[in-house]
């Protein structure tokens, strides 16, 4: 993208103006609003369900083997790159185990602090699950990007010998109650005014291609907002398939990502008055896990139609063991 700095400046101005208008339209104070790719994708998937999540759903759910996997994997890789000889072989599982054993020496905050607490409590199950998830993340990351890693790759959201890493965050001027977080895992290339760098987002496994596109555009926008320079591209890697999906960043991509962030803020600001309102519910596979599905006509219609099928297989109803007819195989 030409004029990467100018593009980021314009995006900051446009997003700040849109945020201010959204917050001003809210009928009641909405408190602090913090959004990132997770909020943008959720709000786009179903605005009604996103509004209904409340503070418990909007905020960080807390550390667990699932939420700590990426942070532990990045910290493990960062330590290996710092301490091992250049090009030294990497055993993902053993490297993660070594990091877990010394997590207390890394930091008392963040994922390291949580892992250290699990060790102190002797929670072998949580530690084993964390090691498995983190080693899978790490193995997939180096599988796709190659080993040794590209020389111009830099890990993001890592910290050495200090407090837990802080997520890059942007707050619009005169609107301190609203903030935007960037969530990329790494960067390829040096950050400069020319914008000749790419942001890397890694996923251990594949998933919804539409959600991948949405996240990539959001990461492009948050990268421009937090750094003040628009990236050249966003690279999405998938560990289990080895895919490398590249989204070249242009004005349209930045606008799409900004729109998703603005809509997430809009739904948060409206949540105090509307909450769950099925008028703008968007049915999808998420309906199977939605707590509000019973009161959502659109969700019920989807569950009675395409929702009958799960990845091409029929969904079977729980059957009464005395119902001989049903036991033959009634299919929804």
pTM of the full structure? 0.88
Contact 199, 157 (CB under 8 A): no
For residue 326, what pLDDT is reported?
Answer: 38
Q: Would you kindly state where each structural domain of the chain is located, as residue ranges?
A: 1-278, 283-327
Q: What is the pLDDT of residue 235?
A: 97
153 forms beta bridges with: 188
Within the chain, which residues score under 50 in pLDDT?
311, 314, 317, 319, 321-332
Peptide bond preceding 148 in cis form (omega within 30 of 0): yes
Q: Among 154, 141, 146, which Cα is nearest to 189's?
A: 154
- Please report the pLDDT score of residue 207 as a whole number: 73
Q: What is the pLDDT of residue 318?
A: 54
In this structure, the dihedral spanned by the alpha carbons of residues 36, 40, 42 and 45, taken in order and rounded to 10 degrees, is: -160
The pLDDT, as a whole number, for residue 313 is 52
pLDDT of residue 272: 79
pLDDT tens, position by position, 286-316: 898 899 999 999 999 988 887 666 545 545 5
Distance CA(86)–CA(296), nearest Å, equals 56
Sheet containing strand 186-188, strands side by side? 153-155, 186-188, 198-203, 233-238, 243-248
CA atoms of 204 and 191, how far apart (whole Å)? 26
Q: Two tokens at 317? A: 């109803």
């Amino acid at each position: 993208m030409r004029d990467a700095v100018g593009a980021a400046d314009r995006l900051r101005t446009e997003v700040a103006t849109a945020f201010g208008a959204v917050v001003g339209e809210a009928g009641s104070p909405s408190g602090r609003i913090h959004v990132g790719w997770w909020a943008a994708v959720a709000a786009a998937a179903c605005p009604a369900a996103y509004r209904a999540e409340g503070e418990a759903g909007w905020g960080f759910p807390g550390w667990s083997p699932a939420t700590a996997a990426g942070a532990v994997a990045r910290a493990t890789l960062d330590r290996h790159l710092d301490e091992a000889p250049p090009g030294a072989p990497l055993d993902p599982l053993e490297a993660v185990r070594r990091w877990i054993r010394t997590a207390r020496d890394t930091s008392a905050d963040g994922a390291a602090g949580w892992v250290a607490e699990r060790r102190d409590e002797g929670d072998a199950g949580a530690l084993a699950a964390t090691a498995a998830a983190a080693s899978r993340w790490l193995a997939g990351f180096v599988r796709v990007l190659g080993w040794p890693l590209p020389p111009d790759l830099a890990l993001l959201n890592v910290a050495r010998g200090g407090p837990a890493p802080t997520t890059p965050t942007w707050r619009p001027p005169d609107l301190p109650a609203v903030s935007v977080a960037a969530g990329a895992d790494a960067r390829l290339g040096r950050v400069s005014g020319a914008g000749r760098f790419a942001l890397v987002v890694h996923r251990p496994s594949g998933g919804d291609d539409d959600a991948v596109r949405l996240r990539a555009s959001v990461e492009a926008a948050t990268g421009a907002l937090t750094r003040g320079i628009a990236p050249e591209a966003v690279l999405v890697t998938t560990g289990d398939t080895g895919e490398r999906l590249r989204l070249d960043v242009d004005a349209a991509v930045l606008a799409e990502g900004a729109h998703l962030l603005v809509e997430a803020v809009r739904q948060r600001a409206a949540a105090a008055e509307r909450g769950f309102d099925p008028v703008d519910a968007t049915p999808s596979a998420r309906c199977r896990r939605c707590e509000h599905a019973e009161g959502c006509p659109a969700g019920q219609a989807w569950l009675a139609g395409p929702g009958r099928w799960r990845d091409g297989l029929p969904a079977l109803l729980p059957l009464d063991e005395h119902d001989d007819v049903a036991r033959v195989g009634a299919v929804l």
